[in-house]
């Protein structure tokens, strides 16, 4: 048994489902190994980060993430909000090299050997902090946290060279879908400057109800995803005002922190663009590996 924070997790196998990738032009084009800078808007996306072992396993979700950068252009920088960095108030990475935080216990040594040496660029941190402050947010720069597995696992698959600056944003205690939607909306102007905005979590996340890898998703899991898809298609955050009224909400989310980053990415998206489901597969039966593009 493995533990992620206080939760139990097992590792009974590998899912070999097919990967479905979606092509979306963003940021800076890769041309024959070189970079050609161009002015282009980048999208806001939601990544499922799964278990830390996603970084090592060959699964449908890991293959999707590995294809993400290959079929898109390269962002100028990445702003990522992970479900695993919860804080009183809003925190932002301080400039400098971000530590790779192995915030889990009992996993294979190969996971602890992974180092993702991303840098938070000083000018970009200042730009993001000023934008937030101008929107009325109190921001604290944090030099200790770095990148937890909710951030470095998907980024290490999508951008393994760690050559794109990364700025981590914390999940404030007491956040709601509406407050995170607004936070995303306040950062949406960064997309015009080439920043990729990422919310990282899971649309279903009950580690106490996991099954052997490769097990089909039960109805209460797929049903919740269907409910979520309908709300996102409606394009209104009001749909999510009462999460407790969602079908099997607490069965899918005993605690809601893994769902909340979705609303951050939703808010940062393009209001007139219907969200695109880029990929969906299921791991351990109850873990939805869903990836959304909320537009530029």
Average pLDDT, the chain: 89
Report all structural domains of the chain as residue ranges with CATH numbers, in order of start: 2-293 (3.40.830.10)
Residues 147-174: tens digit of each pLDDT: 999 999 999 999 999 999 999 999 999 9
**What's the mean pLDDT in 260-288?**
96
Position 141 scores a pLDDT of 99
Residue 147 DSSP one-character state: B
For residue 48, which phi and psi values (nearest 5 degrees)?
-80, 130
Position 40 scores a pLDDT of 65
User: Is the pLDDT assigned to residue 10 strictly greater than 60?
Assistant: no
* Confidence at 122, pLDDT banded by 50, 70, 90: very high
- Please check whether residue 19 is in contact with residue 279, taking contact to mean a CB–CB distance below 8 angstroms: yes
**What's the mean pLDDT in 33-45?**
62
Residues 50-97: tens digit of each pLDDT: 999 999 999 999 999 999 998 777 899 999 999 999 999 999 999 999
Position 72 scores a pLDDT of 77
**What's the mean pLDDT in 180-199?**
98
- Please check whether residue 26 is in contact with residue 43, taking contact to mean a CB–CB distance below 8 angstroms: yes
pTM of the model: 0.87
* Confidence at 103, pLDDT banded by 50, 70, 90: very high
Alpha helices (H) along 69-212: 109-112, 122-134, 149-158, 177-187
Which of 124, 108, 219 lies closest to 166, judged by CA?
124
Residues 244-258: tens digit of each pLDDT: 999 999 999 999 999
* Confidence at 269, pLDDT banded by 50, 70, 90: very high
- Please check whether residue 186 is in contact with residue 131, taking contact to mean a CB–CB distance below 8 angstroms: yes
State what percent of residues in the chain have pLDDT above 90: 83
- For residue 142, give the H/E element and its range: strand 139-142
Position 14 scores a pLDDT of 30
Residue 289 or residue 2, greater confidence? 289
Position 3 scores a pLDDT of 33
User: Is the pLDDT assigned to residue 9 strictly greater than 60?
Assistant: no
Position 204 scores a pLDDT of 98
User: Is the pLDDT assigned to residue 4 strictly greater than 60?
Assistant: no
CA distance 58 to 74: 24
Please report the sign of the dihedral spanned by the C-alpha atoms of residue 181, residue 252, residue 60, residue 62.
positive
């Amino acid at each position: 048994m493995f533990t992620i924070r206080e939760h139990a997790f097992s590792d009974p196998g590998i899912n070999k489902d097919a990967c479905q990738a979606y092509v979306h032009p963003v940021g800076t084009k890769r041309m024959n190994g070189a970079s050609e800078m161009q002015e282009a808007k980048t999208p806001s996306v939601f990544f499922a980060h799964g278990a830390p072992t996603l970084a090592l396993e060959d699964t449908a979700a890991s293959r999707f993430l590995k294809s993400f950068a290959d079929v898109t252009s390269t962002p100028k920088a990445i702003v990522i909000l992970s479900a695993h960095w919860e804080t009183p108030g809003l925190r932002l990475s301080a400039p400098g090299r971000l530590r790779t935080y192995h915030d889990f216990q009992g996993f294979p040594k190969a996971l602890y050997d992974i180092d993702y040496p991303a840098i938070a660029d000083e000018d970009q941190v200042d730009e993001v902090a000023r934008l937030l402050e101008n929107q009325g947010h109190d921001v604290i720069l944090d030099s200790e946290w770095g990148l937890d597995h909710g951030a470095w696992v998907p980024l290490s698959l999508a951008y393994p060279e760690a050559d794109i600056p990364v700025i981590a944003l914390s999940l404030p205690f007491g956040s709601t879908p509406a407050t995170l939607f607004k936070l995303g909306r306040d950062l949406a102007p960064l997309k015009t400057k080439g920043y990729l905005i990422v919310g990282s979590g899971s649309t279903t996340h009950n580690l106490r109800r996991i099954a052997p890898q490769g097990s089909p998703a039960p109805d209460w899991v797929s049903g919740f995803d269907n409910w979520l898809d309908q709300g996102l298609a409606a394009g209104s955050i009001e749909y999510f005002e009462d999460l407790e009224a969602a079908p099997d909400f607490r069965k899918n989310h005993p605690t809601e922190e893994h769902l909340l980053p979705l609303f951050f990415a939703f808010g940062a998206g393009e209001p007139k663009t219907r969200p695109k489901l880029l990929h969906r597969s299921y791991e351990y039966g109850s873990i939805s590996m869903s990836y959304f593009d909320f537009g530029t």
